[in-house]
Amino acid sequence: MIDLTCRSAASRRLVTPACVLLTLFNLVTTASPAHAETCIASQYGVGDGYDGRRTASGALLNTRHALTAAHRTLPFGSRVIVTHLGNGRSVSVVITDRGPFIHGRCIDLTRAAANAIGMDGLAKVTVDVRLSRAAAVQCDRDSRRR
């Protein structure tokens, strides 16, 4: 039997239906490697004025050292594995920002993440979603505010 409750370390109560949907999303994406998106990735934070500024999640963007990324729809705190299709190298990044806002691109990587997969500029990648516990805990926190 699958446990469909969202829980945090401090609380063992049921929370919002949105949190249950988040848990279902987690089960589907972690159990199904077929949930991968193939698209064009770009890097940001280099020469565009974003380095050192706050991201949409509130975190500071450290493009030289942080393995983070921007995605239009995934929840903040989601962990994704980005694989460069040209050379097969992969990196695990955390979604902390929104973007890219250019048609045809699905993810913006920091310079550190782009360097980890040998990406220079744009690259064709697969994005394999692995929802982290942090996103589920954030869902629990959000539900308490209502």
**Which residue type, as a one-letter code, is found at position 130?**
R
**Burial degree of 101 (CB within 10 A; 0-12, 13-18, 19+):** exposed
Q: Where are the domains of the chain?
A: 35-145
Q: How far apart are CA 89 and CA 117, in angstroms?
A: 5
Rg from Cα positions in the chain: 16
Nearest to 131 by CA among 4, 31, 13: 31
- pTM above the 0.75 mark? no
Tens digit of each residue's pLDDT, the chain (146 residues): 344 444 444 444 445 555 544 554 554 444 444 368 999 999 987 777 788 889 999 999 888 899 999 999 999 999 999 999 999 999 999 999 999 999 999 999 999 999 999 998 899 999 999 876 555 565 556 545 55
Q: How far apart are CA 109 and CA 107, in angstroms?
A: 6
Q: Indicate the fold that domain 35-145 takes in CATH.
A: Barwin-like endoglucanases (2.40.40)
Query: What pLDDT shows up at residue 135?
Result: 55
Tokens of 42: 């770009």
Helix axes 133-145, 17-31, angle to 10 degrees: 170
Residue identified by tokens 């589920």 is: 136
